[in-house]
């Protein structure tokens, strides 16, 4: 039995939002690294990161933060990663590992790749985990436990380096899988990007109806709608970048989704109950599969808390024995 211990000496985090701050907390808690430096664009974030003690040093420039680092993880929105790579390229230590956490991978390879010098290892990564909250306060050390981190190493990557980065993520609690960047983008288009697009759409639709007030939408949201609002509360910058960077795969999945929606719409219009019942029965099995492999809670309603019953008879009803 081996004890958790440092896998890298010096970790540099570029960006300390939900994901960056969760990596910092988890890496600290597990002793995965000996030293953490970080950079953040806004003074408010830098101050907060220092207050929270998430890093040994919080620096203003990305270039300064990566100085001497063995592992650099870029934790900024996908659209900003290319510029970050340009800024840090010259300052990277020979032999260092550069990675990221972006939800799109082919665009990351395209945008960051050219700025990574020879002798530095570039292994893009995507921990499939998150919440609807953003910023350094939103992170927590357990975010990655039981979730999957997908690595998309280039063909010529050193297997020992891949394994070292995989070990880092496993120490943070994640399961690790490798696949080509293009396949990642297709898989995530259906398991993450399209669900977000649909959720953003329907929440917007509900907010603009003439016949139903916003107050009614909020009050009666427990009928299903509220589940979509959590996803549609995700960080707007991050998601703008995801859709711009993974356009082709998202549009492809959207095409299939639209065909399927047309088919169900037709069944409703024609009153074809058998077709609806068959479809609804099939989808139930997927949920069971997700719960069985531990990717969601078996508790009903995601395990949402239910407050207790009222202790008093609500006014104005008066009890009489004749009732």
Residues 76-105 binding its own copies (CB under 8 A) are 79, 103
Nearer to its own copies, 9 or 90 (CB): 9
Q: Residue 73: which residues within 8 A CB-CB, separation 6 or more?
A: 11, 12, 13, 14, 20, 23, 99, 100, 101, 125
| Least gap, CB of 303 to its own copies (angstroms) | 6
250 binds its own copies (CB under 8 A): yes
Query: Looking at 39-47, 60-68, 151-159, 184-192, which segment touches its own copies (CB under 8 A)?
Result: 184-192
- Cα gap 176→165, rounded to integer Å: 9
Query: Peptide bond before 176: cis, by omega within 30 degrees of 0?
Result: no
| Least gap, CB of 272 to its own copies (angstroms) | 9
Nearer to its own copies, 158 or 256 (CB): 256
Nearer to its own copies, 94 or 315 (CB): 315
Which residues are bridge partners to 14 per DSSP?
39, 74
Residues 218-247 binding its own copies (CB under 8 A) are 218-234, 236-237, 239-241, 243-244, 247
| Least gap, CB of 47 to its own copies (angstroms) | 23
| Least gap, CB of 55 to its own copies (angstroms) | 19
CB-neighbour burial class of residue 298 (10 A; exposed 0-12, middle 13-18, buried 19+): exposed
178 binds its own copies (CB under 8 A): no
| Least gap, CB of 61 to its own copies (angstroms) | 25
| Least gap, CB of 20 to its own copies (angstroms) | 16
CA distances to 14, 197, 231, 255, 256 from 260, in Å? 41, 16, 22, 9, 6
- Contact of 75 with 15, CB cutoff 8 Å: yes
Query: Looking at 44-52, 81-89, 116-124, 129-137, which segment touches its own copies (CB under 8 A)?
Result: 129-137
CA distances to 189, 256, 267, 278 from 263, in Å? 21, 11, 6, 13
12 binds its own copies (CB under 8 A): no
Residue-wise burial string across 36-58, b where 16 or more C-beta atoms lie within 10 A, e elsewhere: bbbbbeeeebbebbeebebbeeb
Give Cα 195 to chain centroid, integer Å: 12
73 binds its own copies (CB under 8 A): no
Q: Residue 145: which residues within 8 A CB-CB, separation 6 or more?
A: 172, 173, 174
Nearer to its own copies, 60 or 163 (CB): 163
23 binds its own copies (CB under 8 A): no
Query: Looking at 93-101, 104-112, 115-123, 160-168, which segment touches its own copies (CB under 8 A)?
Result: 160-168
Nearer to its own copies, 39 or 152 (CB): 152
Nearer to its own copies, 65 or 253 (CB): 253
68 binds its own copies (CB under 8 A): no
- Cα gap 67→58, rounded to integer Å: 12
Nearer to its own copies, 45 or 234 (CB): 234
Residues 185-224 binding its own copies (CB under 8 A) are 186-188, 190-209, 211-212, 214, 216-224
Residues 269-298 binding its own copies (CB under 8 A) are 269, 271, 273, 276-277, 279-284, 286-290, 293, 295-297
155 binds its own copies (CB under 8 A): no
């Amino acid at each position: 039995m081996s004890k958790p211990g440092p896998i890298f000496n010096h970790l540099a985090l570029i960006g300390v939002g939900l994901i960056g701050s969760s990596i910092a907390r988890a890496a600290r808690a597990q002793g995965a690294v000996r030293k953490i430096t970080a950079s953040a664009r806004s003074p408010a974030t830098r101050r907060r990161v220092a207050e929270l003690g998430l890093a040994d040093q919080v620096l203003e420039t990305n270039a300064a933060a990566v100085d001497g680092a063995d592992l650099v993880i870029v934790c900024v929105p996908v659209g900003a990663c290319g510029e970050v790579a340009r800024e840090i390229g010259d300052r990277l230590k020979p032999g260092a590992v550069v990675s990221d956490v972006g939800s799109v991978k082919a665009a990351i390879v395209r945008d960051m790749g050219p700025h990574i010098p020879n002798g530095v290892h570039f292994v893009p990564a995507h921990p499939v985990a998150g919440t609807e909250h953003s910023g350094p306060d939103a992170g927590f050390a357990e975010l990655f436990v039981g979730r999957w981190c997908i690595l998309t190493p280039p063909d010529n990557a050193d297997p020992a380096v891949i394994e070292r980065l995989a070990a880092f993520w496993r120490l943070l609690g994640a399961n690790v899988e490798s696949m080509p960047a293009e396949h990642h983008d297709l898989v995530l288009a259906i398991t993450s990007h399209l669900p977000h697009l649909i959720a953003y759409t329907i929440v917007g639709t509900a907010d603009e109806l003439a016949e139903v007030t916003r107050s009614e939408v909020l009050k009666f949201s427990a009928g299903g709608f509220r589940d979509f609002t959590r996803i549609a509360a995700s960080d707007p910058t991050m998601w703008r970048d995801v859709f711009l960077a993974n356009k082709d795969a998202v549009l492809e999945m959207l095409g299939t989704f639209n065909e399927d929606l047309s088919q169900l719409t037709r069944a409703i219009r024609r009153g074809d109950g058998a077709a609806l019942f068959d479809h609804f029965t099939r989808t139930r099995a997927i949920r069971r599969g997700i719960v069985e492999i531990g990717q969601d809670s078996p508790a009903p309603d995601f395990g949402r808390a239910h407050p207790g019953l009222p202790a008093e008879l609500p006014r104005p009803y008066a009890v009489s024995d004749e009732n």
